[in-house]
Amino acid sequence: MLATYLQFWRINVLTMLEYRANFVMWFVFTLFYHGIALAALYVTMRQFPSMNGWDIRQMFFLYALWMAAHEFHNAFFWQVVSVPDYVREGRFDRFLVRPRDTLFQVLTVPQQTMPDGFVAAIVTLAFATAVAHVRIDWIYGLFVPAIVLGGALIDLGISLTIATISFWFVRIDTLRWVAMSLEQDFTRYPISIYGRGVQLVLAFVLPFAFMNYFPAAYLLNKGDVGLHLDPRVGLLTPAIGLAWLAVAYAFWRFGLRHYQGTGS
Amino acid sequence: MEFARKAFAREATYRMEVVTNVGSVVLRVYLLRCLWTALYAENAAPLNLPLHGMITYATIALLMSLILEVDGTRLIREKIREGGIATDLMKPISVPLYFFADGIGQTLLQALLVIPSLLLALLIVHIDVPPAPTLAVFALSFLIGYGVNFFVNFLMNSVAFWTLESFAVQLVVRWASDLLSGQIIPLTFFPGVFGRLVFALPFAAIYSTPLLIYVGIIPRTAWALSLAVQVLWLLLFAVLSTALWRAAARRVVIQGG
């Protein structure tokens, strides 16, 4: 399996080398996307310097943490987002008749993505860490990579759930788009600005708050993270990511058993 | 029976899209209320825009985006990619006009979504309603903004005549325009030189002008001037689009489709 996975990345790199202009264009595109988001944050925070006690540097760190997790997801799990397209076009059925795990096969469909956005995110995160004066100690060194990975798993759980829903509802482009944009909206600000009900949902139902808010609040020494929780919950992100992915994976398996195809 | 089941499935997928769309609007209205309330609670309010004005601004901008984000000219790109544009050009119709009509059709469908969204939004936030003359000028300004937006999209989609990667170009322009048109943040918040620059760009004519008229930041005395600037952009983009279309149509003929 590992050999297959390495082979998959070899193909990706070869494709990238073949279509260099395309690769550069999409990279610039990714940078532009995050640049616009950060510019909007800058303009807002310049007019209003404090958001529930978070200043612009801390907001930048909050964004960078989400960006790292999200770009990790985009680099390594992006094919899951394409599953609804495979289902609609009838290309999904071939995964079911081959003697390998279906999800593994989905994750190794050759594609034109490289971890370039993730590299940009790491640079951004390092920069934000310095700007926000986050203390770099063994907790940072040990937990931040795990938190980024955990956050990416939370993202993967969402993509997997949407992919599974597409087994029943073929046209879910709107849902996919809405879920992506809502994730961006609800991870951009400290969840303390929302009402208690929404905070609970973001913490325990769709655990976006674990992608960046709880870890950032802990690393920035925010005393109160809300919901009467200990600030150290921010270190639980990897566990939450695994648990959430396990639930999504169970749903995916359930969906596979009921998969009927579109007949196209 | 099988047909009925199919029809039901079709209806259900469609209904799911409507529910998702309206649900997302409600969540975003909730988010913008929380966001601006938190920001205004801790910081000095900007001079001419109190909290209720800001929430009104952001909610109306969101509802406008339901209509303005429908890309009526997307069809151009698809037809160019699939080659259908060649037969369209042979038909005895004005092709740009055909796309415009098609776009209006899609917009009207989308506009139906605005009504439930607006009603639900009113449960979450209170929206200021300006006096009738202001509303009328807002409507006029929105209409001109719609035209500018149409031609910007038209130009972006026509880029597909030259490069097949026009989708990326278009997304980048769309993102830039979200920020620079005042859809996310009022352009009055932009600092210094940037503040003057964003008002000089055509994007301001799409969202900013109608919205600033609505919340009263553009006073009665400046209405005429603001509308005139919008009309200028509209004319400029219309002329550009016509020129580009002529060049593009010739290109198709030369290539033989």
Among A216, A211, A217, which residue's Cα sits nearest to residue A240?
A211
Residue B89 CB neighbours (<10 A): 15
Judged on CB neighbours under 10 Å (0-12, 13-18, 19+), A29 is middle
Distance from CA of A36 to the nearest CA of B (A): 7
The span from the CA of B182 to the CA of B202, in Å, is 11
The span from the CA of A223 to the CA of A236, in Å, is 17
E-strand ranges in chain A read none
The span from the CA of A110 to the CA of A79, in Å, is 9
Q: Which of A29, A174, A193 sits opposite B38 (nearest CB)?
A: A193
* Amino acid at site B139: A
**Residue-wise pLDDT tens digits, A152-178:** 999 999 999 999 998 888 777 788 888
Q: Where does the pLDDT of residue B97 fall: very low under 50, low under 70, confident under 90, or very high at 90 and above?
A: confident
**Residue-wise pLDDT tens digits, B21-70:** 888 888 999 999 999 999 999 898 887 899 999 999 999 999 999 888 87
What number is the ipTM of this complex? Answer: 0.87
Distance from CA of A48 to the nearest CA of B (A): 6
Which residues, numbered 166 to 205 in chain B, qualify as contacts with chain A under a Cβ-Cβ cut-off of 8 Å? 168, 171-172, 175-176, 178-179, 184-185, 189-191, 194
Residues on chain A touching B191 (C-beta within 8 angstroms): 43, 46
**Residue-wise pLDDT tens digits, A214-263:** 999 999 998 888 888 888 899 999 999 999 999 999 999 999 988 876 65
Instruction: Please provide the average confidence, as pLDDT, over all residues in chain B.
Output: 83
Of A182-196, B99-113, B151-165, where does the model show the most confidence? A182-196
Domain locations along chain A: 2-257
The structural domain count of chain B equals 1
Whether the pLDDT of residue A101 is over 90: the answer is no
B131 touches chain A (CB under 8 A): no
Q: CB of A210 within 8 A of CB of A241?
A: yes
Is the pTM higher than 0.90?
Answer: no
Q: Which domain holds residue B218?
A: 2-255
Residues on chain B touching A192 (C-beta within 8 angstroms): 38
Q: Where does the pLDDT of residue B257 fall: very low under 50, low under 70, confident under 90, or very high at 90 and above?
A: very low
**Residue-wise pLDDT tens digits, B118-131:** 888 888 888 888 99
- Chains A, B: CB contacts under 8 A, how many? 88
Token output for A105: 């096969």
For residue A136, give the 3-state DSSP assignment: coil
Distance from CA of B206 to the nearest CA of A (A): 18
